[in-house]
Amino acid sequence: MSTRILVVYYSATGNTAKLAAALAGGAAEAGAEVRLRTVAETAPAEAIASNPRWQAHVHSAPAVELATLDDLEWADGFAAGSPTRFGGPASQLKSYLDTTGGLWAKGRLVNKVATSFTTSSTAHGGLESTVLATNNIFYHWGAIVLPLGYTDPHLMESGNPYGGSFVSRKSAAPDETALRALHLQGNRLAQIAGYVAAGIRGG
Protein backbone atom coordinates (compact mmCIF):
# COMPACT_ATOMS: atom_id res chain seq x y z
CA MET A 1 0.00 0.00 0.00
CA SER A 2 1.51 3.34 -1.00
CA THR A 3 1.92 6.17 1.46
CA ARG A 4 -0.96 8.65 1.35
CA ILE A 5 -0.10 12.32 1.37
CA LEU A 6 -2.49 15.25 1.55
CA VAL A 7 -1.25 18.72 0.54
CA VAL A 8 -3.65 21.50 1.51
CA TYR A 9 -3.05 25.17 0.80
CA TYR A 10 -4.61 28.56 0.53
CA SER A 11 -3.28 31.04 -2.01
CA ALA A 12 -4.59 34.49 -2.94
CA THR A 13 -2.15 35.44 -5.68
CA GLY A 14 -0.71 32.07 -6.71
CA ASN A 15 2.61 31.83 -4.89
CA THR A 16 1.56 29.29 -2.27
CA ALA A 17 -0.21 27.32 -4.99
CA LYS A 18 3.12 26.93 -6.83
CA LEU A 19 4.89 25.87 -3.64
CA ALA A 20 2.14 23.34 -2.93
CA ALA A 21 2.44 21.85 -6.41
CA ALA A 22 6.21 21.48 -5.98
CA LEU A 23 5.77 19.76 -2.61
CA ALA A 24 3.11 17.45 -4.07
CA GLY A 25 5.49 16.60 -6.92
CA GLY A 26 8.23 15.69 -4.46
CA ALA A 27 5.89 13.40 -2.52
CA ALA A 28 4.71 11.73 -5.74
CA GLU A 29 8.31 11.23 -6.87
CA ALA A 30 8.94 9.40 -3.59
CA GLY A 31 6.15 6.98 -4.53
CA ALA A 32 3.27 8.42 -2.51
CA GLU A 33 -0.33 8.68 -3.56
CA VAL A 34 -0.95 12.41 -3.36
CA ARG A 35 -4.06 14.54 -3.01
CA LEU A 36 -3.49 18.24 -3.74
CA ARG A 37 -6.31 20.32 -2.31
CA THR A 38 -7.14 23.94 -1.60
CA VAL A 39 -9.61 25.53 0.83
CA ALA A 40 -12.62 27.79 0.37
CA GLU A 41 -12.13 31.47 -0.39
CA THR A 42 -13.97 33.42 2.30
CA ALA A 43 -12.81 36.98 1.61
CA PRO A 44 -15.48 39.42 0.47
CA ALA A 45 -15.58 40.23 -3.25
CA GLU A 46 -14.55 43.84 -2.65
CA ALA A 47 -11.35 42.76 -0.87
CA ILE A 48 -10.48 40.49 -3.79
CA ALA A 49 -11.33 43.21 -6.33
CA SER A 50 -8.98 45.64 -4.55
CA ASN A 51 -5.97 43.54 -5.59
CA PRO A 52 -5.66 42.85 -9.35
CA ARG A 53 -3.34 39.87 -8.78
CA TRP A 54 -5.77 38.31 -6.30
CA GLN A 55 -8.67 38.93 -8.68
CA ALA A 56 -6.70 37.40 -11.57
CA HIS A 57 -5.81 34.32 -9.53
CA VAL A 58 -9.43 33.77 -8.46
CA HIS A 59 -10.54 33.97 -12.09
CA SER A 60 -7.76 32.09 -13.85
CA ALA A 61 -6.24 29.54 -11.45
CA PRO A 62 -6.86 25.95 -12.55
CA ALA A 63 -9.67 24.34 -10.55
CA VAL A 64 -8.40 22.44 -7.52
CA GLU A 65 -10.74 20.40 -5.33
CA LEU A 66 -11.53 21.68 -1.86
CA ALA A 67 -10.09 19.67 1.01
CA THR A 68 -12.53 17.64 3.06
CA LEU A 69 -12.18 16.04 6.47
CA ASP A 70 -12.17 12.65 4.74
CA ASP A 71 -8.99 13.69 2.91
CA LEU A 72 -7.33 14.35 6.24
CA GLU A 73 -8.47 11.10 7.79
CA TRP A 74 -7.27 9.26 4.67
CA ALA A 75 -3.77 10.71 4.79
CA ASP A 76 -0.70 9.24 6.47
CA GLY A 77 1.10 12.55 6.04
CA PHE A 78 -0.09 16.08 5.66
CA ALA A 79 1.39 19.37 4.44
CA ALA A 80 -0.31 22.72 5.02
CA GLY A 81 0.63 25.92 3.22
CA SER A 82 -0.50 29.50 3.40
CA PRO A 83 0.76 32.95 2.53
CA THR A 84 2.02 34.81 5.57
CA ARG A 85 -0.71 37.19 6.73
CA PHE A 86 0.43 39.60 9.42
CA GLY A 87 2.93 37.04 10.62
CA GLY A 88 0.62 34.03 10.66
CA PRO A 89 -1.40 31.72 8.41
CA ALA A 90 -4.37 33.05 6.42
CA SER A 91 -7.82 32.66 7.98
CA GLN A 92 -8.95 30.60 4.99
CA LEU A 93 -6.50 27.82 5.86
CA LYS A 94 -7.19 28.21 9.58
CA SER A 95 -10.94 27.88 8.95
CA TYR A 96 -10.36 24.48 7.37
CA LEU A 97 -8.08 23.39 10.20
CA ASP A 98 -10.65 24.62 12.70
CA THR A 99 -13.16 22.08 11.36
CA THR A 100 -11.02 19.18 12.59
CA GLY A 101 -12.37 19.14 16.16
CA GLY A 102 -14.41 15.99 15.55
CA LEU A 103 -11.43 14.09 14.15
CA TRP A 104 -9.26 15.38 16.99
CA ALA A 105 -11.80 14.23 19.60
CA LYS A 106 -11.74 10.71 18.15
CA GLY A 107 -7.95 10.64 18.01
CA ARG A 108 -7.97 10.23 14.24
CA LEU A 109 -5.14 12.70 13.67
CA VAL A 110 -2.72 11.08 16.10
CA ASN A 111 0.60 10.00 14.56
CA LYS A 112 0.01 11.58 11.19
CA VAL A 113 3.21 13.23 10.02
CA ALA A 114 2.63 16.95 9.43
CA THR A 115 4.69 19.75 7.95
CA SER A 116 4.10 23.37 6.90
CA PHE A 117 5.23 25.89 4.30
CA THR A 118 4.65 29.53 3.47
CA THR A 119 5.56 32.60 1.44
CA SER A 120 5.79 36.24 2.48
CA SER A 121 6.72 39.38 0.61
CA THR A 122 9.66 40.24 2.88
CA ALA A 123 12.47 38.15 4.33
CA HIS A 124 11.73 39.15 7.91
CA GLY A 125 7.98 39.45 7.53
CA GLY A 126 7.07 36.29 9.39
CA LEU A 127 8.01 33.16 7.43
CA GLU A 128 9.05 31.28 10.53
CA SER A 129 6.21 32.58 12.68
CA THR A 130 3.69 31.38 10.10
CA VAL A 131 5.21 27.90 9.89
CA LEU A 132 5.46 27.64 13.67
CA ALA A 133 1.89 28.90 14.18
CA THR A 134 0.59 26.36 11.67
CA ASN A 135 2.57 23.60 13.37
CA ASN A 136 1.01 24.54 16.74
CA ILE A 137 -2.23 22.97 15.50
CA PHE A 138 -0.43 19.71 14.76
CA TYR A 139 0.82 19.42 18.34
CA HIS A 140 -2.78 19.48 19.53
CA TRP A 141 -3.65 16.70 17.11
CA GLY A 142 -0.86 14.51 18.45
CA ALA A 143 0.64 14.57 14.98
CA ILE A 144 4.37 14.17 14.41
CA VAL A 145 5.67 17.59 13.38
CA LEU A 146 8.21 17.28 10.60
CA PRO A 147 10.73 20.08 10.13
CA LEU A 148 12.53 20.50 6.84
CA GLY A 149 15.88 20.96 8.56
CA TYR A 150 19.07 21.05 6.53
CA THR A 151 18.42 17.52 5.37
CA ASP A 152 19.81 18.09 1.87
CA PRO A 153 22.72 20.29 0.75
CA HIS A 154 20.29 22.36 -1.35
CA LEU A 155 18.57 23.49 1.83
CA MET A 156 21.70 25.39 2.86
CA GLU A 157 20.88 27.59 -0.13
CA SER A 158 17.14 27.95 0.38
CA GLY A 159 17.75 28.39 4.10
CA ASN A 160 14.57 27.66 6.00
CA PRO A 161 14.82 24.64 8.31
CA TYR A 162 11.31 25.25 9.68
CA GLY A 163 9.54 24.60 6.38
CA GLY A 164 9.77 25.47 2.69
CA SER A 165 9.33 29.15 1.98
CA PHE A 166 9.71 31.90 -0.58
CA VAL A 167 10.09 35.68 -0.36
CA SER A 168 7.88 37.18 -3.06
CA ARG A 169 9.33 40.69 -2.87
CA LYS A 170 8.22 42.99 -5.70
CA SER A 171 5.65 40.40 -6.82
CA ALA A 172 8.29 37.78 -7.70
CA ALA A 173 6.97 34.28 -8.42
CA PRO A 174 8.58 31.30 -6.64
CA ASP A 175 12.02 30.62 -8.11
CA GLU A 176 13.82 27.33 -8.76
CA THR A 177 15.63 27.47 -5.41
CA ALA A 178 12.36 27.66 -3.49
CA LEU A 179 10.57 25.11 -5.66
CA ARG A 180 13.44 22.64 -5.20
CA ALA A 181 13.21 23.08 -1.42
CA LEU A 182 9.48 22.37 -1.52
CA HIS A 183 10.09 19.34 -3.71
CA LEU A 184 12.55 18.05 -1.12
CA GLN A 185 10.02 18.73 1.65
CA GLY A 186 7.49 16.58 -0.22
CA ASN A 187 10.08 13.82 -0.67
CA ARG A 188 10.87 13.89 3.03
CA LEU A 189 7.23 13.99 4.10
CA ALA A 190 6.42 10.94 1.97
CA GLN A 191 9.47 9.07 3.21
CA ILE A 192 8.93 9.70 6.93
CA ALA A 193 5.13 9.28 6.76
CA GLY A 194 5.79 5.99 4.95
CA TYR A 195 8.04 4.75 7.77
CA VAL A 196 5.44 5.66 10.42
CA ALA A 197 2.50 4.25 8.46
CA ALA A 198 4.35 0.98 7.83
CA GLY A 199 4.97 0.65 11.55
CA ILE A 200 1.32 1.35 12.39
CA ARG A 201 -0.06 -0.98 9.71
CA GLY A 202 2.40 -3.68 10.65
CA GLY A 203 1.09 -3.51 14.22
Ligand X SMILES: Cc1cc2nc3c(=O)[nH]c(=O)nc-3n(C[C@H](O)[C@H](O)[C@H](O)COP(=O)(O)O)c2cc1C
Minimal distance, residue 122 CB to ligand X, in Å = 4
**Residue whose CB is less far from ligand X, 38 or 191:** 38
Number of other CB atoms surrounding residue 196 within 10 Å? 17
Residues in contact with ligand X by CB under 6 A are 11-16, 83-87, 119-122, 125-126, 168
Q: Tell me how far apart the alpha carbons of residues 191 and 183 are, in angstroms, rounded to a whole number.
A: 12
Q: How far apart are CA 154 and CA 138, in angstroms?
A: 26
Looking at the Cβ atoms of 70 and 176, the one nearer to ligand X is: 176
Considering the complex, state which of residue 141 and residue 166 has its C-beta at the smaller distance from ligand X. Answer: 166
Measured distance CA(57)–CA(55) in Å, rounded: 5
- In the bound state with ligand X, the residue whose beta carbon lies nearer, of 85 and 112, is 85
As measured in angstroms, the least distance from the Cβ of 176 to ligand X is: 17
118 beta partners: 82, 165
Question: Which residue's CB comes closest to ligand X?
Answer: 125
Minimum Å gap between C-beta 203 and ligand X is 41
CA dist 149 and 181 (Å) reads: 11
Could you tell me which residues are beta bridge partners of residue 70? Answer: none
- Cβ at position 14, least distance to ligand X in Å: 5
d(CA 8, CA 67): 7
* CB of 48 or CB of 145, closer to ligand X: 48
Across-strand partners of 4?
A: 33
Q: CB of 80 within 8 A of CB of 8?
A: yes
> Residue 123 CB, nearest distance to ligand X (Å)?
8
